[in-house]
Amino acid sequence: MVGWLSMRRLLRWVIHAPKTVRNMWLTVSPLNAKLKTTSALLCTSSFQGDSIRNGTHSKKALLADPQLFEAQFEELVTELVERDLTDPALADALSRLREVLVYNSPGGKRNRGLSVIGSLRELLPPSQLTQEVVQRALLVGWCIELLQAFFLVADDIMDASVTRRGQPCWYKKDGIGLDAINDSFLLEGSIYRLLRRHCRDQPYYVHLLELFTETSFQTELGQALDLMTAPPGQIDLNRFTMERYKAIVKYKTAFYSFYLPVAAAMYIAGIKSEEEHNNAKHILLEMGEFFQIQDDYLDCYGDPAVTGKIGTDIQDNKCSWLVVKALEIMTPEQRAELEACYGRHDDASVEKVKALYNTLQMPTLYRRYEDESYQRLQKLIATHAQNLPHAVFLNFANKIYKRNK
């Protein structure tokens, strides 16, 4: 008797074999009658599964979510610059919008945007993932990517950053400069144009609008805290406390990077209970805190060829996890050396700070924190995700833990 796993492998081979080979095999096989029936059922099921996953009703080859997501970008750009506003007087401005979108939106890891459709697949049964639902989820995912691009274009100006995603920051390009401030506004405005065009008739439209505006405000408050904690030209390590650091991380990173995509998927799935959203928030804010700590670590210890950016937290006097943690454990003599070097742009000062970090065994402390954070996350999922699929949170966690960029 053929075991179940062996049967599945055999059927997979039969289904994907050329038609003539498949027919010949079925004719001579002793399992002929049974396999004909099962093969036909699985072929039908395969096509139905593909169409459900892609949200289509045609027998097209299965596309993974990243492929579906990337395929939508050019359509999104075309819609914004050619179909939304058609006044000929805006031709130059719309051409600029296209350039801004194409330069600043692609190139990232897409974790935020893809997490909308990824979470929705865990929240809804396949039968409810129609073409329209899938396309809207992908669109909302791109809106989150545009929000990210808006924040990054502005953040790079404020931080005087040099590179982003392996290329010069937008404001560093010839002829751009501080005009990039208005370009960041164009990116933000594009979010609400797209939501209005695609989701206005949906019952969750107002929820999405409130979610995006609330998250934007939270992120901007976090940025304000970050800027106030380390103002240019004013180095005061007394401001660098773990309490302040966690507040910055929560508001500047965790809400928009982790809660926003999952909350958007929950609203699309019809989950609007404040209790369930708060449960998700407990888990996702913990994940967001770890993500930023990881980002701070990679700023100093990551490979720029892999991360796509040159770390400048030391030179920029950033309130990062590394410096805050170091301040908690260093001696008075080490603190004096840190105060003399932190926030300086010369290579010698930067190397002295890095040497201090190594003396304090910061990589070891970071790895310990990473393991402890993962254990806390598991407990939070068990406690707060009783009515939500655990896979929603575990999928996110698997993308970020042990990452190197």
- Please enumerate in sequence order all residues whose Cβ is within 8 A of that of 280, keeping only pairs 6 or more positions apart, or say none: 259, 262, 263, 266, 384, 385, 388, 392, 393
Whole-angstrom distance, CA of residue 358 vs CA of residue 213: 41
8 A C-beta contact, residue 273 and residue 388? no
Token pair for residue 375? 């254990």
- Residue 168 sits at φ, ψ, to 5 deg, of -60, 140
- Residue 248 sits at φ, ψ, to 5 deg, of -60, -45
Pairing of strands 167-168, 163-164: antiparallel
Q: What are the start-end ranges of the H helices in 239-302?
A: 242-249, 260-268, 274-301
Whole-angstrom distance, CA of residue 399 vs CA of residue 378: 15
Report the helix count and the strand count for the chain, using DSSP H and E.
Answer: 18, 2
Which H/E stretch holds residue 163?
A: strand 163-164
Crossing angle for the helix pair 180-199 and 205-229, to the nearest 10 degrees: 160
Whole-angstrom distance, CA of residue 73 vs CA of residue 101: 10
Catalytic residues: 109, 150, 155, 159, 164, 226, 252, 291, 295-296
DSSP 8-state code for residue 88: G
Whole-angstrom distance, CA of residue 345 vs CA of residue 353: 11
- Note the residue count of the chain: 405
Whole-angstrom distance, CA of residue 351 vs CA of residue 139: 44
Half-sphere exposure of 395 (CA within 13 A, CB side): 19
